[in-house]
Amino acid sequence: MRKEHRKLRRRPLYFPLLAPVVGAVIAVLLLAWALSRTGTTTLILVRHADLAQSALETGAGLSEVGRYRSKVLAGWLRESGISHIYVSDFSPTRETAVPVAESTGAKIFEIPATDPGRLADALSDRGESPVLVIADAETLEGIVEQRVGRPIEIADDDYAGLYVITDSILTRVRLLKLNYGG
């Protein structure tokens, strides 16, 4: 009978020691989860869609292929959670953005191509949802080099590239290149 009494007395001593350890582990896991959720930035970068032959000379907009490509992009990004779309003051960027804005409900913000610092400020001041940037190839190359730390080159005829940059407090910056619409 005495042995049973000793076992009963020892069990309660384990619980007070175990409870703080389990509580600390749960707290660390919750903190890591919260940091990964709030500290993750996702940028989606896309070059404007294909231009009409006379776009640079006359200010014309997208070609027929470009209008189709912008609709394909809208389909790709429909469920992406994008809340903001940043475009330059070059009209094809806005034309590429309109179908995406209609399918996602995102707002379009125009930033002059001559003010890259304003775009950098806008990208750093946004919330948790992914952001889409539609610009010319040079601007996109600059953003990727600034964010990822290595240069990329976008070919003159590459209108189907989609670049996803993710940056988290807990992981390193990552770049994913996809092709959409041909």
pLDDT greater than 90 at residue 75: yes
Residue 102's pLDDT band (cuts 50, 70, 90): very high
What pLDDT is stored for residue 87 in this prediction?
93
pTM: 0.75
Mean pLDDT over all residues of the chain? Answer: 82
What pLDDT is stored for residue 177 in this prediction?
93
Residue 84 sits in the same domain as residue 25: no
Residue 8's pLDDT band (cuts 50, 70, 90): low
Compute the distance between CA of residue 16 and CA of residue 122 in angstroms, rounded to an integer: 50
Cα angle for residues 88, 94, 95 (degrees, 5° grid): 145
pLDDT greater than 80 at residue 86: yes
pLDDT greater than 90 at residue 104: yes
- Domain interval for residue 94: 40-179
Share of the chain above pLDDT 90, in %: 33
Residue 74 sits in the same domain as residue 17: no
Q: Mean pLDDT throughout 45-63?
A: 77
Three state DSSP letters for 95-116: HHHHHHHHHHCCEEEECCCCCH
Question: CB under 8 Å to 77, separation ≥6 — which residues?
Answer: 44, 100, 103, 104, 132
Could you write out the DSSP letters of every residue in 152-177?
A: ----TT---EEEEEEE-SSS--EEEE
Residue 154 sits in the same domain as residue 111: yes
Q: Mean pLDDT throughout 139-152?
A: 88
Question: CB under 8 Å to 116, separation ≥6 — which residues?
Answer: 139, 142
Q: Mean pLDDT throughout 58-78?
A: 87
Q: Mean pLDDT throughout 63-80?
A: 92
Helices (H), the chain: 2-38, 55-58, 64-77, 91-104, 116-124, 137-148
Residue 61 sits in the same domain as residue 144: yes
Q: What is the CATH number of the domain that holds 49?
A: 3.40.50.1240
